[in-house]
């Protein structure tokens, strides 16, 4: 599978399916015999039991998963850190951790917090900045519902303005009974200048790990062979 060693997973918004997409990517890569690490720079919402790294390991299997900083409140990292009175690692610290993981794994998947330009530290560093430092490629996760075309176009424009590579777009939560809006949006997203990598079912998180791993390659059927 001809994919870069470091892949950053970002979204057009929060709650679009980044964690499920990261887990599916990890499952596909691990299923081809690659060693995979997952890194989450900032995990918020720990007080509510949120742990994207743990969910990815549960679904994808034997992958390494680490988190840069864990924050209690379900807020953007800077706001959550202020409540917790916790110092946030800078982009350089995250980059060093990703490089260390890349030194002993075939692939490192980095899942962002919220959208591309959500600040990860008190100096205004974002996932886009981390991508620039690492010269990494991005997977963009979008929702299929109304409004997604504008959000997707804006995020792709921001990536392009920074000369960042985009592997493609994934619909992170495809409904079991899609309506005309969903089908229309999928058609438009499939005609963009960047590849359409596939769509994950809305109920993917409720599948057993075995069923999740079995379905991942079919969901992401646009990945390079």
For the chain, list the strands marked E by DSSP.
6-11, 36-43, 64-70, 107-115, 137-142, 165-174, 196-201
Burial 146-167 (b: 16+ CB within 10 A, else e): eebeebbeebbebbeeeebebb
Q: Phi first, then psi: give them for residue 62, nearest 5 degrees.
A: -75, 75
* CA 169 distance to own-chain centroid: 11
Q: Which residues pair with 142 in a beta bridge?
A: 171
Q: How many CA atoms lie within 13 A of 103 on its CB side?
A: 6
Spot the catalytic one: 18, 30, 40, 105: 40
Catalytic residue status for 97 = no
Of 77, 78, 79, 55, which is closest to residue 65 (Cα–Cα)?
Answer: 55
Considering only CA atoms, give the Rg of the chain. 16
Burial 68-79 (b: 16+ CB within 10 A, else e): bbbbbbebbbbe
For 148-195, list the strands marked E by DSSP.
165-174
Run of H or E including 57: helix 52-60
Catalytic residues: 40
């Amino acid at each position: 599978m001809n994919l870069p060693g470091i892949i950053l997973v970002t979204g057009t918004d929060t709650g679009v399916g980044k964690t499920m997409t990261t887990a599916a990517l990890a499952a596909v890569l691990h299923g081809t015999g690659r060693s995979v690490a997952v890194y989450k720079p900032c995990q918020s919402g720990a007080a509510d039991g949120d742990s994207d790294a743990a969910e990815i390991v549960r679904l994808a299997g034997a992958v390494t998963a680490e988190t840069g900083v864990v924050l209690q409140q379900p807020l953007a990292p800077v706001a959550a850190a202020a409540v917790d009175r916790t110092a946030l690692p800078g982009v350089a610290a995250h980059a060093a951790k990703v490089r260390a993981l890349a030194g002993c794994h075939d692939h490192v998947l980095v899942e962002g917090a919220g959208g591309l330009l959500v600040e990860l530290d008190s100096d205004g560093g974002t996932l886009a900045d981390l991508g620039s430092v690492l010269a990494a490629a991005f997977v963009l996760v979008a929702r299929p519902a109304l409004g997604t075309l504008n959000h997707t176009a804006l995020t792709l424009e921001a990536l392009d303005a920074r000369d960042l590579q985009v592997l493609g777009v994934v619909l992170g939560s495809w409904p079991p009974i899609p309506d005309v809006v969903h089908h229309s949006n999928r058609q438009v997203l499939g005609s963009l200048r960047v590849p359409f990598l596939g769509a994950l079912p809305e109920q993917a998180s409720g599948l057993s790990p075995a069923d999740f791993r079995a379905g991942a390659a079919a969901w992401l059927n646009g990945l390079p062979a």
